Amino acid sequence: MDHQSTINNTVSQLSKEEALDLILNNIEDAYTLVDKDFKIIALNKAAIEGIRLHYNKEGSPGIFVLDIVPPDRQAFLKTLFSEVLKGTSHKTETEFILQDGRKIYYENLFVPAFDGAGLIVGIVTRTANITEKKKTETKVQESEERLRFALEATNQGAWDWNMQTDEVVYSSSYKKMYGFTDDDLKNHFSEWHSRLHPDDRKKMQSAITDHTQSTDSYYESTYRLQIKNGSYRWIMARGKLIGKDSEGRPLRMIGTHTDITEIKDAQEKLNTAAERFAYAAKATGQALWEWNPVTGEAYISKSFTEMFGWETDDDHYFEQWHYYIHPGDQKTTVKGYYDTIDNPKAKTWEAEYRFQKADGTYAIVCDTAYILRDEAGKAMKVIGATQDITARKNIEQELHKSNERYDNMVKATNELLWEWDIKTNQIYRFVEGVQSVYGTEDIASVDTQEKWMQRIHPDDRQYVNTILGEVLKGYHQQIFEIEYRFCRDDNSYAFIHGRGILLTDEEGKPVRMIGAEQDVSKRKRLENELLEKELENKKAINQATVDSQEQERGEIGKELHDNVNQVLTTTKLYLELALANEDLVKELIKKSSKNITTVINEIRQLSRSLMDPSLGDLGIVDSINDLIENIKLSPKIHISIEIAEEIENLLNKTHKLTVFRIIQESLNNIIKHAAAKFVTIQISHQNGMAELIVADDGKGFFQDSIKKGAGLKNITNRVYLINGTFSIDTTPGKGCRIKISFPIK
């Protein structure tokens, strides 16, 4: 009997239990049967070897499972066994580290053990070595992780489209890229199509059709796709067709999506910036340039030609640049440039100079450059801009002149300029004006409305508050004026006269107030002095009027006493004699009648001198002639008169009365005191001024030695009332000349 026959006879003679043991002991997986008390009933050879290897214990029927495992696993295993005994199966994984550092992985299966009646009598465990499987899974997982990380790092997502069923599988990175979870997207072509931007759907439909009919299996396109939050992202889609059916229809396409929104935005911003930069350079009059000091390469923008008229040669520009600089600026500019380039610490260069244009004129330019250097400080590249600042320089020059004129005007007018920002309550005032007008060195003491108000005289604050309050309620560009008293540093008060204008916004709300103020203390003092003088003059006029009235009364009394009274007394005596002596009656009555006639003429002449002249009826010329005719009754004095014909219509009623009274007063003085034989009266006009001259050949007088009587005072006051001037030219023995001038309309 051969060896194989012997084996066959041996196996066939085994009992059922022996055969089962033989099977279990030749299986790589470890099996164990545990009863309800967690005691091992049976275990195969693989289980015994596993317990010895990993727990360093001998496994055999009759021992408790919990005595084999480490203490930290006993509670977990006890709970698990209890669950299995209730009819629940469990699967776990266990990791063991060998002495050489290798890791062994096991998959553990725990299932209930049923008897013939279907009752649970214990637990069957199976432990399988899954180390190789784990390694394979780990490699696959690592590969998938690397792919996922690579996709996420490049902002990409993968997809797989079954073009026969329209089923699409989206990678986790795809979903994550657009903010979706695993359950958010349907695995269908319609999901992608519904999220296309409306403006891109027609384009993409045509692109898919063209690609499926093309012989090129690869395709690439860009479009906008809606993400979970509703916004759109720019993507670049790349794909490849995988196989076609017998009729040439595509079966499958796989590909990736790359989010290029940032790139698109950057490109758009770059294009916008480039366009904006070009327009800005053109608008600001700039020519851009770049120079490599190492290679000598250069770049000059097209705006250079537009600005200066020269056609540039990039390769030779910096060799020729200094030729176009004005001779007066050339040495300083070129030296400054190359000194800056050679200075390892210098990062920028800037210069202003005159640059020749193609038409031969010079433009004032500002050159600004940034210098890029290596670690040693050597200049590697210079990037700059040349700007034509001729217009700006001209404006600055004009502005400087304007400011200089303005400063001089402010100094000349001695005004304080101010600006009040009503929103911030800050007030700006020129320092010089604060010192000269407010009399304070502390500008901070008036930098707000409240501080300024505290220095206003208490009696003026309410008035100032009222005025400003009304102005703030007003309309745009409302102009106002105000006067108040302001406390200086020496505690004296200055009279301030201010003018201002209110500015409002579009809604009519006040935003700013601008104005100027002057110290008018001197003017106020002069006004007060003038007022006092006017009061004194009025008092003098009143006193002179009283004196004149008293003088006139005295003169009337004297005339009545010396002439009229004496004549009447004589007449009374004549009448008494006539009554006593009948022989003399006729003669005495005749004398009495003559005396009464004399008295009547005296009283008539006296009344005429006191009454207002009939200027309205006769006019100034006839009134003067009438006055002179009465005086001419005396042959002792000769009066001549010269009056311009048009003077009658040039003088008003007040002027005429004043001239008449002055002539009347002058003639009275001449008759009484001058002993003159000839008198000249002249009235003329020229350049809006009337002139009256009364001259005599009398005995004259010393002006300083004679005290002004009521007559001269009367003349002086009358001249004052018509805003005229009064002068006397006289010396003893050479007569007297009175001259009055006054304005007429």
Q: Residue 55's CB: how many other CB atoms inside 10 A?
A: 14
Q: Do 566 and 678 lie in a common domain?
A: no
Strands (E), 163-311: 167-170, 218-226, 232-244, 250-259, 286-291, 298-300
Residue 561 lies in a domain: yes
Q: Do 150 and 204 lie in a common domain?
A: yes
Predicted confidence (pLDDT) at residue 485 exceeds the cutoff of 90:
yes
Q: What pLDDT was estimated at residue 683?
A: 93
Q: Averaging pLDDT over each range in 108-112, 204-208, 310-314, which range is the top one?
A: 108-112
Among candidate residues 662, 664, 649, the one with its CA nearest the CA of residue 744: 649
Mean pLDDT of 389-416: 75
Mean pLDDT of 356-377: 91
Give the whole-angstrom CA distance, residue 699 versus residue 660.
Answer: 24
Give the whole-angstrom CA distance, residue 418 versus residue 422.
Answer: 13
pLDDT in tens, 655-684: 888 888 888 888 888 888 888 889 999 999
Q: How far apart are the first and last CA of the chain?
A: 172
Radius of gyration of the chain (CA): 65
Strands 286-291 and 379-388, by their bridges, are antiparallel
Q: What pLDDT was estimated at residue 604?
A: 62
Q: What pLDDT was estimated at residue 189?
A: 85
**SS3 of 52-70:** HHHHCCCCCCCCEHHHCCC
Residues contacting residue 50 through CB under 8 Å, at least 6 positions apart: 30, 106, 127
Instruction: Express as a percent the part of the chain with pLDDT over 70.
Output: 83
Q: What pLDDT was estimated at residue 340?
A: 93
Q: How confident is the model at residue 488 (pLDDT cuts 50, 70, 90)?
A: very high
Among candidate residues 163, 177, 149, 313, the one with its CA nearest the CA of residue 236: 177
- 3-state SS assignment for residue 11: helix
Which of 519, 538, 555 marks a domain boundary? 519
DSSP annotation string for 266-320: HHHHHHHHHHHHHHHHHHTTEEEEEE-TTT--EEE-THHHHHH-PPP-GGGHHHH
Q: Do 250 and 163 lie in a common domain?
A: yes
Residues contacting residue 36 through CB under 8 Å, at least 6 positions apart: 85, 121, 122
Q: Do 745 and 621 lie in a common domain?
A: yes
The Cα-based distances of 194 to 265, 546, 626 in angstroms read: 24, 116, 123
Residues contacting residue 419 through CB under 8 Å, at least 6 positions apart: 427, 428, 512, 513, 514
Which of 501, 519, 537 marks a domain boundary? 519
Mean pLDDT of 543-554: 58
Residue 274 lies in a domain: no
* Type of residue numbered 686: Q
Q: What pLDDT was estimated at residue 505?
A: 87
Cβ proximity of 30 and 43 under 8 Å: yes
Element (H, E) at 122: strand 120-129
Cβ proximity of 104 and 127 under 8 Å: no
Give the whole-angstrom CA distance, residue 701 versus residue 693.
Answer: 18
Spell out a b/e string for 397-409, using b for 16 or more CB atoms within 10 Å of the CB, else e. Answer: eeeeeeeeeeeee
Q: Do 598 and 483 lie in a common domain?
A: no
Element (H, E) at 721: helix 710-721
Q: What pLDDT was estimated at residue 23?
A: 77
Paired with 419 in beta bridges are: 428, 514
* Type of residue numbered 445: S
Looking at residue 15, the DSSP 8-state letter turns out to be -
Which of 395, 425, 458 marks a domain boundary? 395
Q: What pLDDT was estimated at residue 519?
A: 86
Q: How many structural domains is the chain composed of? A: 6
Give the whole-angstrom CA distance, residue 722 versus residue 485.
Answer: 35
Q: Do 537 and 658 lie in a common domain?
A: no
Q: Look at the block and give the residue holding tokens 């295993």.
A: 77
pLDDT in tens, 495-512: 989 888 888 888 888 988
Q: What pLDDT was estimated at residue 125?
A: 92
Q: Tell me what percent of the chain is helix, strand and coil, each rounded to the nearest 5.
A: 45, 30, 25
Q: Look at the block and give the residue holding tokens 């700007």.
A: 387
Predicted confidence (pLDDT) at residue 544 exceeds the cutoff of 70:
no
Q: What pLDDT was estimated at residue 135?
A: 78
Looking at residue 137, the DSSP 8-state letter turns out to be H
Query: How many distinct helices (H) and strands (E) make up the chain?
Result: 23, 25
Strands 478-487 and 362-373, by their bridges, are unpaired
Residue 23 lies in a domain: yes
Paired with 531 in beta bridges are: none
- Look at 15 and 621; give whichever has higher pLDDT: 621
Q: What pLDDT was estimated at residue 739?
A: 93
Among candidate residues 658, 675, 667, the one with its CA nearest the CA of residue 715: 658
Predicted confidence (pLDDT) at residue 332 exceeds the cutoff of 90:
yes
Residue 662 lies in a domain: yes
Q: What pLDDT was estimated at residue 282?
A: 66
Give the whole-angstrom CA distance, residue 604 versus residue 522.
Answer: 56
Work out the mean pLDDT of the chain and round it to a whole number. Answer: 81
Of the given ranges (375-384, 624-633, 692-701), which has the lowest mean pLDDT? 624-633
Q: Residue 263's CB: how many other CB atoms inside 10 A?
A: 14
Of the given ranges (68-77, 317-326, 555-564), which has the lowest mean pLDDT? 555-564
Give the whole-angstrom CA distance, residue 400 versus residue 322.
Answer: 30
- CB-facing half-sphere around the CA of 59: CA atoms within 13 A: 27
Give the whole-angstrom CA distance, residue 391 versus residue 49.
Answer: 100
**SS3 of 466-524:** HHHHHHHCCCCCEEEEEEEEEECCCCCEEEEEEEEEEEECCCCCEEEEEEEEEECHHHH
Paired with 481 in beta bridges are: 499
pLDDT in tens, 568-626: 777 777 677 777 777 777 777 877 777 787 777 666 666 555 545 555 567 888 888 87
Q: How confident is the model at residue 549 (pLDDT cuts 50, 70, 90)?
A: low
Cβ proximity of 44 and 24 under 8 Å: yes
Range of the domain at 103: 10-129
Residue 138 lies in a domain: no
Mean pLDDT of 375-399: 87
Domain at 463, CATH number: 3.30.450.20
Looking at residue 653, the DSSP 8-state letter turns out to be H
Q: What pLDDT was estimated at residue 558?
A: 60
Q: Do 602 and 678 lie in a common domain?
A: no
Of the given ranges (296-310, 452-466, 563-577), which has the lowest mean pLDDT? 563-577
- 3-state SS assignment for residue 564: helix
Give the whole-angstrom CA distance, residue 75 versus residue 358.
Answer: 98
Give the whole-angstrom CA distance, residue 175 versus residue 168.
Answer: 12
Give the whole-angstrom CA distance, residue 736 versus residue 706.
Answer: 13
The Cα-based distances of 71 to 35, 53, 65, 77, 126 in angstroms read: 20, 18, 11, 10, 21
Q: Do 359 and 444 lie in a common domain?
A: no
Predicted confidence (pLDDT) at residue 139 exceeds the cutoff of 60:
yes
Residue 408 lies in a domain: no
Q: Do 601 and 638 lie in a common domain?
A: no
Residues contacting residue 134 through CB under 8 Å, at least 6 positions apart: 105
Q: What pLDDT was estimated at residue 579?
A: 77
Predicted confidence (pLDDT) at residue 327 exceeds the cutoff of 90:
yes
Mean pLDDT of 79-97: 90
pLDDT in tens, 163-209: 888 888 887 777 777 888 877 888 888 888 888 899 988 888 888 88
Q: Which long-range contacts (CB under 8 A, 24 or more apart) does 522-530 make?
A: 523/495, 524/495
Among candidate residues 208, 210, 214, the one with its CA nearest the CA of residue 192: 208
Q: What pLDDT was estimated at residue 556?
A: 62
Residue 4 lies in a domain: no
Cβ proximity of 286 and 387 under 8 Å: yes
Element (H, E) at 34: strand 30-35
Q: What pLDDT was estimated at residue 525?
A: 83
pLDDT in tens, 18-35: 777 777 788 888 899 999
Q: Do 290 and 313 lie in a common domain?
A: yes
Q: Do 515 and 545 lie in a common domain?
A: no
H helix runs in 414-480, sequence order? 431-433, 449-454, 458-472
Residues contacting residue 352 through CB under 8 Å, at least 6 positions apart: 364, 365, 366, 367, 389
Q: Do 617 and 607 lie in a common domain?
A: no
The region that residue 62 occupies, defined by phi over 0 for left and psi between -120 and 50 for alpha, beta otherwise, is left
Among candidate residues 335, 351, 353, the one with its CA nearest the CA of residue 343: 335
Cβ proximity of 219 and 238 under 8 Å: yes
Predicted confidence (pLDDT) at residue 152 exceeds the cutoff of 70:
no
Element (H, E) at 664: helix 653-669
- CB-facing half-sphere around the CA of 740: CA atoms within 13 A: 26
Residue 139 lies in a domain: no
Cβ proximity of 174 and 157 under 8 Å: yes
